[in-house]
Structure 1
Amino acid sequence: MTTQKKSILIVDDQSTNIFALSAVLIPRGYSCTAALTGEQCLQILDERPHLDAILMDYNMPQMNGVETIKYIRQIPQYKKTKVIVITADDSPGLKLKSISAGADGFLTKPIDVDLLETLF
């Protein structure tokens, strides 16, 4: 039996963060797609029939991670997709805001990839 590769969407306004996450996830068997904005994330979701997980930066210009998650949770095929907020900002309340918006997990950068995989 072959294991199907999990498809991950990485949403971060910093391309270096996308590159770093992709560099550790791809060798572990994940397929990674990238979006630089919340708006671009939503466009990708409109075009893709399925993703296994979305890694969402919290702080992004125009539409932040929480706002984007609220839109994602309105898309029928993505209501139960794992959405994990990843941020360098560990301000009190961000985790609660993220989980309240529909995130399934919250991690601060730098990311422990083994811990991240437990959230998928």
Structure 2
Amino acid sequence: MATDKKTVLIVDDEQSNIFALSAVLIPRGFTCTAALNGEQCLNILSERTAFDIILMDIMMPFMDGIETIQMIRELPQYKNTKIIVITADDNPALRLRSMAVGANGFLNKPIDVDKLVALF
């Protein structure tokens, strides 16, 4: 049923990563929207009332994922939206910092799709 579709915002400066994530999520019934950086992400969020989950890269130009997560958590309509960090950096300190600013999960690239979908 269309109303059961989960909406996903993929925030990543690499279009190939957006394509790859969309390619595995869409066949599983997810609706995907993309942003190439934190500024684009915030613009999209200001125009929509809700996403079910946000997949956030950390290393991006203009505004990194940490700063973007902090700003998202200031938006009342997105205070409880799941934000999953997806990054190639497996530094434990980055994981802790991501969670401290409001991320709900942390996955390393390349993504294990089953682990990702389980976070939904």
Give the TM interval when normalised to the shorter protein.
over 0.9
Matches within 5 A, 1:1-120: 2=1, 4-120=4-120
Instruction: Deviation per CA, 1:79-105: give whole Å up to 9, x if none.
Output: 000000000111230100100010000
**Unmatched 5+ stretches in structure 2:** none
Matched-pair identity in %? 67
User: Structure 1: how far apart are the matches of 2:20 and 2:115?
Assistant: 16
Aligned residue-pair number = 119
User: Structure 1: how far apart are the matches of 2:91 and 2:104?
Assistant: 18
Q: Output the TM-score relative to the length of structure 2.
A: 0.96
Which moves more between the two structures, 9-18 or 56-65? 56-65
* AA aligned opposite 2:43: Q
Shift of 1:28: 0.3
Root mean square deviation of aligned Cα: 0.9
* AA aligned opposite 2:40: Q
Q: Indicate the structure with greater helix content.
A: 2
Shift of 1:36: 0.1
Deviating above 6 A after TM superposition, structure 1's stretches of 4 or more consecutive aligned residues are: none
Q: Secondary structure at the match of 1:83?
A: strand
**Unmatched 5+ stretches in structure 1:** none
Which moves more between the two structures, 46-55 or 87-96? 87-96
Q: Secondary structure at the match of 2:43?
A: helix
